[in-house]
Structure 1
Amino acid sequence: MGKRTGGLLCVLLLALLPAGCQFIRIEEGERTPLEYTIVKQEEIPEEISELMEQKKKKVFQMTYQVGDIRYLMKGYGEQLTGGYSIQVEEVSESENAVFCKTRLIGPEKADAGSEPSYPCIVLKIRETEKPIEFLGFIIK
């Protein structure tokens, strides 16, 4: 490959790299269970409720820090009926990250109802600077 072709290839590669984007590679390592609490609807701080209300129609996952408490929020977007439940499969941490794994479970036919619903869950953990990795899936 000539100098001109090599230089052109380098310019093309640099042009294709997104400016300002950052990819974080989380090395999982050994996970240990992390203590958490499922927050009842009436105990969710107002600012978190407002955020969730804005996002509820689409799938979302967010965290919010209040003092020494980190809130983990996971919403499964608009569902055609009610009767859904969310199961917490895992809340754990490794040396490099916190992992939150949930599962959306579909309603029994008798429990479905006819109105759309917006299943979501809020978990409370201790303060952490580690990145949060949300894992989850849907069973209908």
Structure 2
Amino acid sequence: MKNKRKRWKNGVILIPVLCVLLLTGCGLFQEEKIKLRDLDFTVLSDEKIPEELKTVIVEKGTEPFHLTYSDDQNLYISIGYGQQKTGGYSIAVDELYLTEDAIYVGTTLLGPEITGQKKGAEKPSTPYIVIKTEFLDKTVIYE
């Protein structure tokens, strides 16, 4: 009889402990990204985009894409949102920062209703952005 009570007591303690471990376990293995610093950047016009990168962007056509390109002095981060039904879109850079392991970039596609642009709205468009920043040999994470 004492053996059964001991097992039952162990089960009562063990079940809540397992639940806590399962609920917090996923968070234990996630690495915390600590921002070291914001990165300075320039949004490039079509004329300033390196030809090699421009060629790859054209090849992507109407599909969404994330590209990086470097020339040992600068890092170029390009994000395309794919074909949109109308024109008048723009892209905002929300964040560009460095962590110990990576560069994080976040952008938002702004529609014609937000940008107030009406010209060319009847034609489909393929909005993209090219961001130029300092060369860093890090992986780029798109958020």
Structure 1 vs Structure 2: percent identity of aligned residues?
Answer: 35
Query: 3-state DSSP class of the match of 2:83?
Result: coil
Confirm whether residue 66 of structure 1 aligns to residue 71 of structure 2: yes
Query: 3-state DSSP class of the match of 1:57?
Result: coil
Residue matched to 2:133? 125
Query: Letter of the aligned partner of 1:75 in structure 2?
Result: G
In 2, the alpha carbon distance for the partners of 1:30 and 1:110 equals 35
Is the Cα–Cα contact under 8 Å of residues 36 and 99 in structure 2 kept in the other structure? Answer: yes
Which of the two has greater helix per residue?
A: 2
Structure 1: stretches of 5+ with no match in the other structure: 1-24, 136-140
**What is the CA-CA distance between 1:67 and the residue it aligns to?**
2.7
Is the Cα–Cα contact under 8 Å of residues 27 and 96 in structure 1 kept in the other structure? Answer: no
| Runs of 4+, deviation exceeding 4 Å | none
Is the Cα–Cα contact under 8 Å of residues 26 and 97 in structure 1 kept in the other structure? Answer: no
Is the Cα–Cα contact under 8 Å of residues 102 and 140 in structure 2 kept in the other structure? Answer: yes
Residue matched to 2:87? 82
Residue matched to 1:113? 121
Structure 2: stretches of 5+ with no match in the other structure: 1-29
Q: Normalising by the residue count of structure 1, what TM-score does the alignment of the two structures yield?
A: 0.73
1:110 and 1:121, CA in 2 relative to 1: closer, same or farther beyond 3 A?
A: closer
Is the Cα–Cα contact under 8 Å of residues 35 and 97 in structure 2 kept in the other structure? Answer: no
Query: 3-state DSSP class of the match of 1:128?
Result: coil
**What is the CA-CA distance between 1:63 and the residue it aligns to?**
0.2
Which runs of structure 2 are paired with 1:44-63 in the superposition (5 Å)?
44-63=49-68
**What is the CA-CA distance between 1:129 and the residue it aligns to?**
1.0
Query: 3-state DSSP class of the match of 2:54?
Result: helix
Query: Letter of the aligned partner of 2:131 in structure 1?
Result: L
1:110 and 1:64, CA in 2 relative to 1: closer, same or farther beyond 3 A?
A: closer
Is the Cα–Cα contact under 8 Å of residues 26 and 96 in structure 1 kept in the other structure? Answer: no
Q: Count how many residue pairs are aligned between Structure 1 and Structure 2.
A: 111
Query: Letter of the aligned partner of 1:104 in structure 2?
Result: L
Q: Normalising by the residue count of structure 2, what TM-score does the alignment of the two structures yield?
A: 0.72
